């Protein structure tokens, strides 16, 4: 199958190129980027030297549709919805990596992103692309909204508890630690090496745009409204997200650590990319670096009846481009793991 990548010059786009190069079922036939239109892929990204003849092009919908049947859109929010409708109308299947189709309510979208949604008719048909909770809908979708990196980690850490209903997932705090590539390839003092190296800091505490997405999905799983406190932190590493989630146990239930682990084991049975660690072990981001796996570790602080559930993903793979390919595999009826078998690069 021929695929296109729109917005291919950013980190998510480059990661799609890297992953798809090893995918046996597809070939990359169209690569668009605005700022770098005309540049050779390999000149911008020496690690992609194998894409020798290929250059970034300025996006044109007809061209995209004539060259490929399946498109990944890796544009910033707001830009995506300028491109996706034409692709969908033109009959292509699309995985959109931006936030534009993740939130079902256009008003909520406007509140958090400060933009009017210009293709609200697609919100209903868009499917949230987290295969571990939504595989069936993804299989039948034409437009998949690929989850954000933080929501991927937080939701995978919490979904098994959320499924037990709102009482099982109260007072949730998600303290997340992200590598700097999470902020993208754009230039900022925050991403300047000399400022980020050797430092940890919180940012956008309680106000990060990934909050509504997490709450909507967890609420849907729980069957009732879930609110959480979300505090992202910048950590001096390139890749990786660790979400450490704290959940007050339902005092009525008094679950043991083993029972909690069994709930997770059940939930993630037959989910090839979620690895549940032994009790007492917690995940480290490096173990999933470059891979599509999500490692989950669990603990129970009995003294205060608090569950600690931590999930680690590579923000550019399971948190972005790998997940997008996983969704494509499901949409195409292929084996979910196709092209995504690579293990983490450690150490």
For 71, half-sphere exposure in the C-beta direction (CA atoms, 13 angstrom radius) is 33
Tokens of 112: 């958090």
**At closest approach, how far in Å is the CB of 28 from a second copy?**
13
Q: Which is nearer to a second copy, 87 or 317 (CB)?
A: 317
**Which residues make Cβ contacts (< 8 Å) with residue 289, sequence separation at least 6?**
239, 240, 314, 344, 345, 346
> Of residues 142, 149, 289, 327, which has the active-site annotation?
149
Tokens of 55: 């250059």
Interaction between residue 271 and a second copy (CB under 8 A): no
Q: Which is nearer to a second copy, 60 or 203 (CB)?
A: 203
Stretch that binds a second copy, among 134-142, 157-165, 284-292, 324-332 (CB under 8 A): 284-292
**At closest approach, how far in Å is the CB of 12 from a second copy?**
11
Which of 25, 135, 286, 332 is close enough to bind a second copy by CB under 8 A?
Answer: 286
Interaction between residue 191 and a second copy (CB under 8 A): yes
Interaction between residue 225 and a second copy (CB under 8 A): no
Q: Which is nearer to a second copy, 148 or 240 (CB)?
A: 240
Nearest to 316 by CA among 281, 345, 276, 275: 345
b/e map 130-151, b = 16+ CB within 10 Å: bbbbbbeebeebebbbbbbbbb
Helix intervals (H) in 39-148: 41-44, 61-67, 84-89, 106-113, 131-139
Which of 154, 260, 289, 324 is close enough to bind a second copy by CB under 8 A?
Answer: 289
Tokens of 18: 């890297």
For 118, half-sphere exposure in the C-beta direction (CA atoms, 13 angstrom radius) is 11
Interaction between residue 3 and a second copy (CB under 8 A): no
* Interacting positions 38-57 with a second copy (CB under 8 A): 45-50
Q: Which is nearer to a second copy, 139 or 195 (CB)?
A: 195
Judge contact between 40 and 67, C-beta under 8 A.
no
Q: Which residues share a beta bridge with 28?
A: 3
* Interacting positions 232-261 with a second copy (CB under 8 A): 233, 235-240, 242, 244, 246, 248
* Interacting positions 120-179 with a second copy (CB under 8 A): 171, 173, 175, 177, 179
For 66, half-sphere exposure in the C-beta direction (CA atoms, 13 angstrom radius) is 5
Distance between CA atoms of residues 114 and 324, nearest Å: 25
* Interacting positions 18-37 with a second copy (CB under 8 A): 18, 21-22
Interaction between residue 210 and a second copy (CB under 8 A): no
Which of 228, 325, 327, 331 is close enough to bind a second copy by CB under 8 A?
Answer: 228
Judge contact between 243 and 318, C-beta under 8 A.
no
Q: Which is nearer to a second copy, 119 or 152 (CB)?
A: 152
Interaction between residue 7 and a second copy (CB under 8 A): no
**At closest approach, how far in Å is the CB of 3 from a second copy?**
17
Q: Which is nearer to a second copy, 10 or 147 (CB)?
A: 10
Q: 289 an active-site residue?
A: no
């Amino acid at each position: 199958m021929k695929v296109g990548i729109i917005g291919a010059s950013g980190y998510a786009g480059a990661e799609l190129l890297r992953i798809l190069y090893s995918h046996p079922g597809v070939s990359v036939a169209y690569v668009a980027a605005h700022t770098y239109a005309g540049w050779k892929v390999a000149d911008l990204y020496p690690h992609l030297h194998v894409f020798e003849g290929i250059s970034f092009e300025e996006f044109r919908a007809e061209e995209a549709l004539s060259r490929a049947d399946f498109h990944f859109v890796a544009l910033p929010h707001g830009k995506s919805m300028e491109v996706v409708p034409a692709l969908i109308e033109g009959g292509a299947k699309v995985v959109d990596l931006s936030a534009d189709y993740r939130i079902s309510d256009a008003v909520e979208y406007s509140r958090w992103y400060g933009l009017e949604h210009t293709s609200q008719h697609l919100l209903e048909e868009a499917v949230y692309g987290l295969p571990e909770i939504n595989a069936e809908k993804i299989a039948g979708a034409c437009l998949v909204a690929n989850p954000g990196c933080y929501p991927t980690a937080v939701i995978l850490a919490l979904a098994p508890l959320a499924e037990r209903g709102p009482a099982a997932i109260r007072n949730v705090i998600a303290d997340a630690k992200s590598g700097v590539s999470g902020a993208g390839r754009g230039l900022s003092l925050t991403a300047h090496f000399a400022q980020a190296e050797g430092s940890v800091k919180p940012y956008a505490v309680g106000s990060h745009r990934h909050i509504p997405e997490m709450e909507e999905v967890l609420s849907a799983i729980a069957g009732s409204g879930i609110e959480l406190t979300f505090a992202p932190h910048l950590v001096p590493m390139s890749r990786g997200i660790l979400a450490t989630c704290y959940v007050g146990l339902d005092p009525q239930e008094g679950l043991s650590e083993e029972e909690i682990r069994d709930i997770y084991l059940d939930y993630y049975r037959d989910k090839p990319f979620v690895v549940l660690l032994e009790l007492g072990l917690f995940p480290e981001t490096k173990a999933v670096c470059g891979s599509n796996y999500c490692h989950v570790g669990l603990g129970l602080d009995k003294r205060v009846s608090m569950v600690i559930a931590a999930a680690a993903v590579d923000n550019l793979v399971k948190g972005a481009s790998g997940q997008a390919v996983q969704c494509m595999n499901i949409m195409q009826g292929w084996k979910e793991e196709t092209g995504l078998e690579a293990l983490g690069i450690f150490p």
